[in-house]
Structure 1
């Protein structure tokens, strides 16, 4: 988004470009050398991507600067070690919108700043097997959506095939209980969940976390790409590699806990009991892993206190977008001197980083992980140490 001298916002303008503004549109008169042809034919209409018109190098620099800006706002400086960008056609998880039409249904992403649904055949974000599922999703959307209200279709690739969660207010009737499993079988959908009810599970939708086979509960959080997950895990391993006892805060289904259990004892803490149950089942299915204990706990309201943290050599923390202000304060007051922090929000990360730095921690180089290619979304990981 650019801004003209009179303050007018110019969508998709790049720095240094000369743009002619008319009442109808903005015309690029002198393009930036960083401007490229968008790789996806849906880019102009679809709101799923924001930066396909800019070179990869420009986007990497832009995302690094988002992190630097957030740190500067807290009075911090930080080294950006690298920006790791997931390749095109690699998103293994996405929420699509489905809406009924006179002739059937539409499935796709929303147009920019609109509730209009844009069909996206050949989408350059999603794994090809998820794009290939769209015809089946259209059949399901015709059943789950209405002409006035849409259905949310969250689809996740798994070892056994797509895992589909349908977010809808429509009642699950007996007719739907019969029709939906047939569609799932024909489309190779491993699990189909309507609202909070599993309607069909042809095979468990397994996710590999280290050597463990984990079946997440419906709708559970999962990193957006396998590439991004591997990059974050590499950063976490490097940060806490020498620790024998590690606490994993906001552990989810075991993205970090289970791989780390190959070398260290882990205490996994998470607010959702169903995710910890999935983690525990995965751990018990792998001989040779170190002990993994679990604790269901709302870390926003009841953070682990300094005395509870005293038995651990290192901590891993991967909070939601809001960050973890209370838990970070407890970590800063504890005897733990090594923390691996993962974040999906540069602003809350910078706030929490300042709290640690104020208590004597040193922030290491930051790795920016771009799982949400061509979007403004940024993830990152780094190490905090105190001597």
Structure 2
């Protein structure tokens, strides 16, 4: 006979899990799975704030209270570390970004059922959830959803458009991929939309890269107090508060250091916030050029280098010129570069990661080379999502 079971934790993909290992979708710790499969709500279940929760793939965890949500982020990071037999000397407080704080997102639009649908895709599907509300996007971004529907609705035939929205210093940067801006009417509609809604920039990508069609003044994003040119599609931390948390950790851990190597530096998110001399290394040409142009104001405190660290990682002899290394690689991690760091004589490494699993493998390489995981800080920038980030400090005693 099937017995009732209590949900004891939340798995990596958001399912609730019982002590016996049974996975139950949309279950919270403390819920009880009854013999007929229904859920008896427990103390940590809360009403999801958004009507789209469930079908929408943008969020997986809106049914969890703050305590469990923070614990989920923390435990994902701790589990990754322990999978490689690593324990942190200090576990920092988990940071959760608040509702309506996401400053960049990619939405999808297409005609369906006689109307234009625009929103995130359903989980595991190409179907689009037509957004009537959103509790993760900054209000400035969500305010464009209805106007975008009207503007895109002028297109004829079958089409699909990806909409990239980013909040820059000057306002919203909007990128349309797949939008057939052909003819005077379509062009005027796009420019009218940009003007009416005071966009910072409007770009259109028909398969050859984004081309600006509206940019009243150069678009920038302020990093460490420095306005940096924002190329279309360039990487930016998902929330301003999340960025501040990660940068704050780096500043604290690198205070008093001599020269720092900032690897996978992007636009200079960390470099411009640090006090000492910093050398940035970045493969994406547009991001590198933006960082270099901004660095020119600092009379040598920040130097920018164009380098693909996957194909051409910094070698141990080059790394030895620095007192510390900071790296924030893509989701795949930085296996080859970390191997060179481990073989160098550098004594301090700050590793920021958006993927605890790949981070843990790289962390093991550092530990095997004599580094100690001194501190670990879990970060949940993507609120109500299973996407987890972290900042970590490694020191060689």
TM-score using structure 1 length: 0.91
Contact 1:368 1:380 in 2 (8 A): yes
Please point out which of 152, 166, 171 is paired with 2:176.
166
Task: Specify every segment of 5 or more residues in structure 1 that has no aligned partner in the other structure, as ranges.
Answer: none
| Secondary structure of 2:194 counterpart | helix
Counterpart position of 1:215: 229
Q: What is the aligned partner in structure 2 of residue 98 from structure 1? A: 109
> Equivalences for 1:284-299 in 2 at 5 Å?
284=296, 286=297, 290-299=300-309
Aligned to 1:316: 326
Q: For residues 98-137 of structure 1, what are the structure 2 equivalents within 5 Å? A: 98-101=109-112, 103-137=114-148
Residues 146 and 52 (structure 1), Cα distance of their counterparts in 2 relative to 1, 3 Å cut: farther
Distance in 2 of aligned mates of 1:146 and 1:354: 53
Question: Do 1:121 and 1:131's aligned partners in 2 also have CA atoms closer than 8 Å?
Answer: no
Q: Find the aligned partners of 2:301 and 2:34 in 1 and give their Cα distance.
A: 64
Per the alignment, in what secondary structure is the counterpart of residue 94 of structure 2?
Answer: strand
Question: What TM-score do you get using the length of structure 2 for normalisation?
Answer: 0.89
- Do 1:145 and 1:151's aligned partners in 2 also have CA atoms closer than 8 Å? no
* 1:193, distance to aligned residue in structure 2 (A): 1.1
- Cα distance in 2 for partners of 1:367, 1:5 equals 28
SS of 2:92's equivalent in the other structure is strand
The aligned runs of 1:1-387 (5 Å cut-off) are 1-2=15-16, 9-20=23-34, 27-28=38-39, 30-78=40-88, 79-101=90-112, 103-142=114-153, 147=158, 149-168=159-178, 171-175=180-184, 176-195=186-205, 196-260=210-274, 263-284=275-296, 286=297, 290-387=300-397
> Compared with structure 1, are the counterparts of its residues 274 and 236 closer, same or farther at alpha carbon in structure 2 (3 Å cutoff)?
same
User: Contact 2:86–2:373 at 8 Å: present in 1 too?
Assistant: no
Contact 2:87 2:373 in 1 (8 A): no
Tell me if the contact between 1:239 and 1:339 (Cα under 8 Å) persists in the aligned partners.
Answer: no
Instruction: Say if 1:5 and 1:75 are closer, same or farther in 2 by CA, change over 3 A.
Output: closer
CA contact (8 A) 2:30 2:43 kept: no
Deviates more, 1:138-147 or 1:81-90: 138-147
CA displacement at 1:306 relative to structure 2: 0.8
In the alignment, structure 2 segments of 5+ residues that lack a partner are 1-14
Deviations along 1:188-239, one digit per CA (max 9) or x if unpaired, are 1111111121121123332111121112111000000000000000011111
Q: Secondary structure at the match of 1:12?
A: coil
Count residues in correspondence: 377
What whole-Å deviation, never above 9, does each CA across 1:316-361 have from its counterpart, x for those lacking one? 1000000000000111111211111100000011001110011011
Question: Is this contact kept in 2: 1:248–1:316, CA < 8 A?
Answer: yes
Task: Note the alpha carbon deviations across 1:53-109, whole angstroms, 9 max, x for none.
Answer: 111110111111111211122122234321001111110011111112465422111
Query: Which range moves more in the overlay, 113-122 or 7-16?
Result: 7-16
Partner Cα distance (2:317, 2:22) in 1: 54
